[in-house]
Chains A and B, each alone.
Chain A
Amino acid sequence: MTYRFLPDVALADIAFEAESDSVDGLFETCALAITDIMVDPKTLRATTKRKLSLQSENLDRLLYDFMTELIVLKDVDSLLFGDFDIKVTADGTSLEAVAKGEPIDRERHSLRNDVKAVTMHLFGVRRQGRSWKTTVVLDI
């Protein structure tokens, strides 16, 4: 379960590639990458818990909606999350997740970039051998 930033893609924005041996792991990896872009995860504690239930047309859209939901929670409720427990259904159209984190604290959190949105550029979930992969370009 890893992500790596892609320095040569979409210069004004931030791109990463995520990989995991499971769909649940891929979603978790993408969520952790987004958190890493917004805050130093080492400064984030797990004092607040949010349950998320999402449904979508397919696995691609579900991942897009899940990442968008994390950005919405940052803007609306000022929440950042560093711990995720995610279960995606076998058909890839819905998920139940528990995200743990805390409200933004400008004194204690080492904040980084404000993520505006998940773009569709180069986006898509793909299976390669035993791995699940995706490329994500975030608008910064």
Chain B
Amino acid sequence: MPANSAIKQVSEVSWEIPVSYKQGMHVPARIYATRKLLDNMDSGVIEQATNVACLPGIVRYSYAMADAHWGYGFPIGGVAAFDTENGVISPGGVGFDVNCGMRLIRTNLRFPEVKPKVKELVDLIFSLVPAGVGVKGSENFAQSQMGDITSLGVRWCAENDLAWEDDPQHVEEGGFIKGADISKVSRQAISRGVSQFGTLGSGNHYLEIQAVDPARYLDRELAKEFGIVHDDQVMVMIHCGSRGFGHQVCSDYLRTFESGMRRFGIEVRDRDLACLPFSSKEGQDYYSAMVCAANFAFVNRQIIVNKVRDAFSAVFHKDAESLDMHLIYDVCHNVAKVENHSYDGAKAKVLVHRKGATRSFGPGHPDVPAAYRDIGQPVIIGGSMETGSYLLVGTQKAMEDTFGSTAHGSGRTMSRTAAKKEVRGAELQRKMLDRGIYVKAATMDGLAEEAGMAYKDISEVVETMDRAGISKKVAALRPVGNIKG
């Protein structure tokens, strides 16, 4: 990031850009970063976070988390809350991949017993979970079922033998967000999505077999609350979203919103910041369609989990229940939700946009599942396929400081085009195997683009959020097998 005298240090790991930085800012921008992360943050983050600060009805701050990088409209790693009566909703503030998110499943297996089976597991899962360009899933749902699926999410799965009884309660919002209305979703979106359930996608989406990594970090007492009881316990992490269904919902409403802004006299600094009053008909229609897409994503990840359970069961000749393959949690990191928060000394309903940011609700919050209510919700931070990931918990300080939000991943520092110039996919695959990570990728180009060097240091990102107090480290997880979309 270029040196900028407007950026004021607030604490060891937080910074502020005042409203005087740019004409039209309603609130300051707040950035969470160490000095090193801030120095290396691309200038797009500053411009985009301050553009978001200009949107009507934004309250308190426009936030950029430690993993922030240049996105479109909002920065990736951005959080913004809006007054539900006088504020706006923005499809670009959610992103095209509505409810892109992370799922973490535990097993009771320990790494030494899984190590000789990693290749077999990865190859089998790769054959069961389609990944890459234009893939179709194995579930044949009818278009007429899409209304029920997208309104009930994982609860629909549980009612149709596609989820375990306790799966829905271990998904953010209990497995479905209320307010879905399929009549607000275009025919094109439904056509794109109906055949894509259970598919991983492409880009930075992945499915990873991981082992707990106590050498990097493990809080054994906290980890126990999530069923992590061994220092080398094996986990599975899934990163994907709402596929073509969500992508089309965003595309459709971006057009609607851009036209509608003129009527409301709203001007924005980037076309992807198109927004309309949340209370407007278009704003409510988008919210209902976006919720359908979010619930689609929950179901997509559920079907993938079913395949993972099948694969482990086949390889270890035990049923998945015996392998204790329960969900630890499923978090959204591209979404807008109506939530109750307290700020400026009062309680209020706000519409919180998290674009590349994770909910981080603290202990005692009624929306945290009963099993975790004393400690806070699980926060799953996915890293690059080379460097590993983290499990954290939400905190009361996040409720006070960031509308219950924290980072979502390690954040890119290098574009896809640049990464491909630095390394070839096949070479990277060999090097990772030498380091004990077996990777199977839909394409070698896609693999090269996701090399660890293209990302920030995830430990520094996680450490920043931990030191800021808006999420607390529980366990580091290291990759041992990876399926790259």
Q: Which residues of A contact B (CB under 8 A)?
A: 5-14, 38-39, 57, 61, 64, 68, 71-72, 74-76, 78, 80, 104, 106, 110-114, 116-124, 137, 139-140
Asked if B342 lies at the interface with its beta carbon under 8 angstroms from chain A, I say: no
Question: In the complex the two chains form, what is the Cα distance from A13 to B44 in whole Å?
Answer: 13
Residues of B within 8 A of A75 (CB): 134, 191-192, 196, 243-244
B258 (CB) vs chain A CBs: closest residue: A120
Known A-B contacts A114-B203, A123-B271; A9 and B70 likewise in contact (beta carbons under 8 Å): yes
- Chain A residue, CB-CB nearest to B409: A12
CA distance A95 to B263 in the complex (A): 28
Which B-chain residue is minimally distant from A56 (CB atoms)? B255
Q: Is the CB of B485 within 8 A of A114?
A: yes
18 contacts between A and B (CB under 8 A): A5-B417, A7-B418, A8-B415, A14-B415, A38-B133, A68-B251, A72-B191, A74-B133, A76-B195, A76-B244, A111-B132, A112-B445, A117-B247, A118-B251, A120-B270, A121-B92, A121-B270, A121-B272
Decide if B128 is an interface residue (CB 8 Å cutoff): no
Across the interface, which residues of A come within 8 angstroms of B278, CB to CB? none
User: Which chain B positions have C-beta within 8 A of A76?
Assistant: 188, 191-192, 195, 244
- B188, A72: Cβ atoms under 8 Å? yes
Which single member of A104, A110, A117, A118 contacts B134 (CB below 8 Å)?
A: A104
Assess the B443–A112 pair: CB atoms within 8 A.
yes
Please tell me which one of the listed residues B70, B136, B274, B416 contacts residue A78 in the complex, with CB atoms under 8 A apart.
Answer: B136
Separation of A110 and B201 alpha carbons in the complex (Å): 16
> Contact between B443 and A111 (Cβ–Cβ < 8 Å)?
yes
In chain A, what residue has the closest Cβ to B414? A11
Interchain CB contact under 8 A, B202 and A113: yes
Q: B441-462 vs A: 1/0 string, CB under 8 Å?
A: 0110110010000000000000
For B449, list chain A residues within 8 Å (CB): 113
Report whether B69 and A12 are in contact in the complex, using a CB–CB cutoff of 8 Å. Answer: yes
Majority-rule SS of A interface residues: loop
The interface residues of chain B lying within 8 Å CB-to-CB of A6 are 417
Q: Mark B222-252, 1 if CB is under 8 A from A, else 0.
A: 0000000000000000000001100110110
Beyond the given A5-B417, A111-B133, could you list 12 further A-B residue pairs with CB under 8 A, ordered by the A residue number? A7-B421, A10-B44, A12-B416, A38-B134, A75-B191, A113-B446, A116-B96, A119-B73, A119-B96, A120-B72, A121-B271, A140-B203
Contact assessment for B271 and A14 in the assembled complex, using a CB-CB cutoff below 8 Å: no
Partner of A140 from the list B44, B244, B255, B416 (CB cut-off 8 Å) is: B416
B103: CB under 8 A from chain A? no
Q: Is the CB of A120 within 8 A of B92?
A: yes
Chain A contacts for B134, CB-based, 8 A: 38, 74-75, 78, 80, 104, 114
Whether, in the assembled complex, B204 has its beta carbon less than 8 Å from a beta carbon of chain A, the answer is: yes
**Complex Cα distance A131/B175, Å?**
51
CB contacts (< 8 Å) of A9 on chain B: these are 70, 415
Is B76 among interface residues, defined by CB-CB distance under 8 A?
Answer: yes
A57 to chain B, nearest CB (A): 8
Contacts of B118 in A (CB 8 A): none
Report yes or no: A119 in contact with B72, Cβ–Cβ below 8 A: yes
A70 and B421 CA atoms in complex are apart in Å by: 27
Contacts of A122 in B (CB 8 A): 270
Contact: B247 with A116, CB < 8 Å?
A: yes
Q: Quick check: is B42 within 8 A (CB to CB) of the other chain?
A: yes
Interface code B66-88, partner A: CB below 8 Å = 1, 0 otherwise?
00011111001000000000000
**Shortest Cβ distance from B252 into chain A, in angstroms?**
9
**B304 beta carbon closer than 8 Å to chain A:** no
* B421 neighbours in A (Cβ, 8 Å): 7
Are A11 and B133 in contact, with the CB atoms below 8 A? no
Q: A12-B412, A111-B132, A111-B443 are in contact. Are A117 and B96 (CB under 8 A)?
A: yes
Cβ of B208 within 8 Å of any chain A Cβ, yes or no, is no
Question: How far is it, in angstroms, between the C-alpha of A8 and the C-alpha of B136 when the chains are bound?
Answer: 32
Identify the closest chain B residue to A106 (Cβ): B132
B254 CB-CB contact with A under 8 Å: yes
Contact B272 A120 (CB under 8 A): yes
Bound together, the chains give a CA A95 to CA B82 distance in angstroms of: 40
Q: Please measure, in the bound complex, the distance between the C-alpha atom of A121 and the C-alpha atom of B243, giving whole angstroms.
A: 20
- The one of A11, A74, A106, A112 that contacts B412, using a Cβ cutoff of 8 Å: A11
A120 near B274 (CB under 8 angstroms)?
yes
**B70/A10 in contact, CB under 8 A:** yes
Known contacts A111-B443, A120-B274: does B133 contact A104 (CB below 8 Å)? yes
By a CB distance below 8 angstroms, the chain A residues around B251 are 68, 117-118
Q: A135: shortest Cβ distance to chain B, in Å?
A: 11
A12 touches B203 (CB 8 A): yes
Q: A97 to nearest B CB, angstroms?
A: 17
**Which one of B196, B202, B250, B418 contacts A117 once the chains associate, using CB atoms below 8 Å?**
B250
Whether the Cβ atoms of A113 and B445 lie closer than 8 Å is: yes
Cβ of B413 under 8 Å from chain A: yes
Question: Which residues B267-289 have CB closer than 8 A to chain A?
Answer: 270-272, 274
Question: Please, which residues of chain B bring their CB within 8 A of the CB of A72?
Answer: 188, 191-192, 244, 248
- How many whole Å from B271's CB to the nearest CB in chain A? 3
User: Does B167 touch A at the CB level, under 8 Å?
Assistant: no
Contacts of A104 in B (CB 8 A): 133-134
CB neighbours of B258 from chain A (8 A): 120
Contacts known (A11-B413, A120-B272, A121-B270); A139 close to B70, Cβ less than 8 A: no
CA distance A119 to B73 in the complex (A): 9
Instruction: Please name all residues of chain B whose beta carbon is closer than 8 Å to the beta carbon of A113 when the two chains form the complex.
Output: 133, 202-203, 416, 443, 445-446, 449
Q: Does B97 make an interface contact (CB < 8 A)? A: yes
Name the residue on A nearest B71 (C-beta).
A10
